[in-house]
Chains A and B, each alone.
Chain A
Amino acid sequence: MSDLTITVPRPPLPGFTLPLTAVLGAIFGFVAGNVYGQPWIGALGGAAVGVVIAYLAHAMSHKRTATRWGIIAVLALAGLLAGGLGAALSGVIIGAVMSWFAYWLDSGDYRKNVPIYYSAGQTLWYNSFLFICGLVFFFLIAPLLPVMWLSFNAEDFFTFTPEMLNFQAEGYSLKHYRNFLGTEEWMTPLKNSLIIAPFATFISVSLGTLAAIGLSQSHVPGRQAIMAVLISPMIVPLIISATGMFFFYAPLGNWLEANLGLSQNFVGYVKVILAHAALGVPFVIITVTATLVGFDRSLTRAAANMGADPITTFFRVQMPLILPGVISGGLFAFITSFDEVVVVLFVGSAQQQTLPWQMFTGLREQISPTILAAATILVTVSILLLATVELLRRRSERLRGLSPG
């Protein structure tokens, strides 16, 4: 077998590696030149650097690692001289990417993962496809990174200061985190969100699951129509639902206050929780209905046959099998409530101010990086939560022997 290793012919330097690396260099140069207001001169310089790197990669093909470190060091030094620590870091990144690219092309590695009979066009498409996939991830994730970075800003603006770009300690501070964690202004909304979202989720999961199970029975009359009505909060523009809910819940709240003697504050929470539960129900119905498609009806008949009443059957047989659908529906319902700003603006009063509401007013009235600190904390918490749920799911699958991993 070992004598069957396929050797890819090295592509020609002037016709392939050199121009492609120069183009990549020109792109980097264009971006870097833009900082100094000279994008085209930057592009030209970048192309020249690309040519040099391509030539080095070709000439020093046997000393790959050492040459790459050398290129990185030179570009980092150039960056340090030109614009301090921040530019040096850019130099390291650009050097790493460009030297990798040059060697990848020059050594023929770009053909490593494609069948030997692929034409040039097919290889190009294969690599472009990977590149596009990478870009998709980049555009999904990249907007979050400056948000996290800026949240450590020492100033009260959404601006990268020169100190920040050069990684000087005085450009950074945790004051926006202190402001988020240490003031009523942010802690009360956080508390409200953490009260409203779980209650709303609980209500929508209970009602949504029951509705989905009922609607999956074939003998229910008018199933399609009922389904359409229940799904409608997801389809109707939120602002319309919000206006309607406002006029629906206001008299309801007045009645509760006047006749049951409940406090205005308590009634406010009830109104927002009910409104959010209505918004969350469609998500639960859809996910649970989807899981019910794969549910084997003969299991409930078998349970009945063995003497279980419908409630026992539901909790002991049906529920465990549709649990993944219920949980993901619950997650959607939770996020809907936790992210919701329009309905709560209408239905809630100031005592029920939620986190998105506070972020919304904060962003409109004062562009304060405290919002970024809040966003960073929320993103981190969501990532941890989702990772935990996923790990637990895998563990239980492993325990049940459903997956090989």
Chain B
Amino acid sequence: MKLTTTLMASTALVVAAGSAFADGHAKMADSMTVVSWGGAYQKSQQNAYTIPYKEMHDGLEVVWDESSAEAVAKLRAMDEAGSVTWDVVDVVAADALRLCDEGLAIEIDPEKDLAAAPDGTSAEEDFGELLVGDCFIPQIVYSTTFGYRTDMVAEGVDPPSQICDVFDLEKYPGKRSLEKRPINNVEWALLCDGVAKEDVYDVLATEEGQQQALDKLATIKDDVIWWSAGADTPQLLADGEVFMGSTYNGRLFAAIEEQKQPIGMMWDAQVFDLDGWIIPANLPEDRLHRAMDFVKFATDTQRLADQAKYISYGPARASSAPLVGQHAELGIDMAPHMPTDPNNAANTFLYNYEFWADYRDDIDAKFQAWLAQ
């Protein structure tokens, strides 16, 4: 009896509250689920985006879901089941393109939906060529690059500084950790097998080129530990289990500057990639308005520059770069740790989205078969 009364009372309350809101000012939902990657990256987003945003909007509840790694699969399932519980989703550019093609993310008009730079430059111009696809709102530029144990370099040998040092087992003996997928690895292999940078993707498009890359990787296969999560390489480096390994530059920054591990950065041939927001399709009106409002705020010039106080990923707007300051806790200048800093970006590689969209399944299958040999 008591339970029924309570249930009925609370139901009545909820209904009353719902209708009161519908009449009132707010077309925006007062709760928002943001999907991200967890860890230091998510913390930087909380500090730079949601904490100030919540201060501006009283009573807003922000729920974080650390599911970006499964974003594509989960959004598909949610869409089929007709209950999309996410409002704003942080994904890498490649996933954003897939979601956009499948109609699971809404299209964005940069002029209308995103804030202009403080000096009046339009958002479209400010983001420039980083606006890949119609649904993707770029947030950061990150890179996949190498770290090495400074205390494991042999006496009288220069620390590794070229990408091809990864393949030089004589000069730099020891295990390497590489990501357990072909992307980036095959490009690096070809670069170190005498292929010119501008020809890499042309060569990779051919059967022989793919075999050539795998053959080059085979020369170090016995010394490779394959990783699948971004946290693996920092852990392996901290353990001294590998001499050098690839991972995201922000992870290496955290291991070097925050954890004080004896690790050095090797920026040569770092591969740039983008990460940013998408908004799922078919959201109810009030949640859609909330999501659009939040994304417009979170990708303005100041907010993107603020994020760089907490993590060493480069802001996606050109106008944010001069505003990048010092690390919020360590007080060191962040600009030299950005992958986009001129000193670090002397030799870079931009992930070719179109190529990998076309060839990913094919090369993936070959790579996995090669791994199993």
Q: Residues on A close to B: CB < 8 A?
A: 155-159, 246-247, 250-251, 253-254, 260-264, 346, 349-351, 353, 361-362, 364-367
Contact = CB atoms under 8 A, between A and B. Distances in A.
A365 B78 CA distance: 23
B342 interface: no
Contacts of A156: 258-259
Contact of B40 (A157, A246, A366): A366
B238 A254 contact: no
Contacts of A367: 229, 231-232, 234-235
3 nearest A-B pairs in the assembled complex, by CB-CB distance: A350-B65, A250-B81, A366-B39
B66 A361 contact: yes
B63 interface: yes
A159 B238 CA distance: 7
Contacts of A366: 38-40, 231
Contacts of B65: 349-350, 353
Interface string B223-262: 0000001111011001100000000000000000011010
B368 interface: no
Nearest to A156: B259
Contacts of A250: 78, 81-83
Given A247-B80, A254-B82, A365-B37, A261 B14 contact: yes
Given A157-B239, A364-B231, A350 B33 contact: yes
Contacts of B66: 361, 365
A155 B38 CA distance: 19
Interface residues of B, number: 35
Interface of B: 11, 14-15, 18, 31, 33, 35, 37-40, 63-67, 69, 77-78, 80-83, 85, 229-232, 234-235, 238-239, 258-259, 261
Given A364-B229, A366-B39, A366-B231, 8 more contacts: A159-B238, A246-B77, A250-B81, A260-B11, A264-B31, A264-B85, A365-B37, A365-B229
A157 B11 contact: no
Contacts, number: 78
B69 A364 contact: yes
30 contacts: A155-B238, A157-B234, A157-B235, A157-B239, A158-B235, A158-B239, A246-B77, A247-B77, A247-B81, A250-B78, A250-B81, A250-B82, A250-B83, A251-B81, A261-B11, A261-B15, A261-B18, A262-B14, A263-B14, A264-B31, A346-B77, A349-B63, A350-B33, A351-B63, A361-B67, A364-B69, A364-B229, A365-B39, A365-B66, A366-B40
A159 B15 CA distance: 53
A264 B83 CA distance: 11
B348 to A, nearest CB: 25
B230 A157 contact: no
Contacts of B234: 157, 367
Nearest to B78: A250
A361 B82 contact: no
Contacts of A254: 82-83
Contacts of B239: 157-159
B39 to A, nearest CB: 4
B14 A246 contact: no
A362 B261 CA distance: 21
A124 to B, nearest CB: 40
Given A261-B14, A351-B63, A362 B85 contact: no
Contacts of B78: 250
A253 B231 contact: no
A246 B238 contact: no
B261 to A, nearest CB: 8
Nearest to A346: B77
A367 B33 CA distance: 24
Nearest to A353: B65
B79 to A, nearest CB: 11
Contacts of A158: 235, 239
Given A261-B14, A365-B38, A366-B38, A349 B232 contact: no
Contacts of B14: 261-263
Nearest to B239: A159
A144 B170 CA distance: 39
A292 B38 CA distance: 48
Contacts of A253: 83
A251 B81 CA distance: 7
A311 B18 CA distance: 44
Contacts of A362: 38
B63 A251 contact: no
Nearest to B12: A261
A353 B38 CA distance: 13
A334 B17 CA distance: 36
Contacts of B69: 364-365
A364 B37 CA distance: 10
Nearest to A250: B81
A247 B35 CA distance: 21
A366 B251 CA distance: 9
B259 A349 contact: no
Nearest to B63: A350
Contacts of B18: 261
B83 A155 contact: no
Nearest to A362: B38
Contacts of B37: 365
B228 to A, nearest CB: 9
A166 B239 CA distance: 17
B83 A361 contact: no
B217 to A, nearest CB: 25
A157 B259 contact: yes
A251 B82 contact: yes
Contacts of B229: 364-365, 367
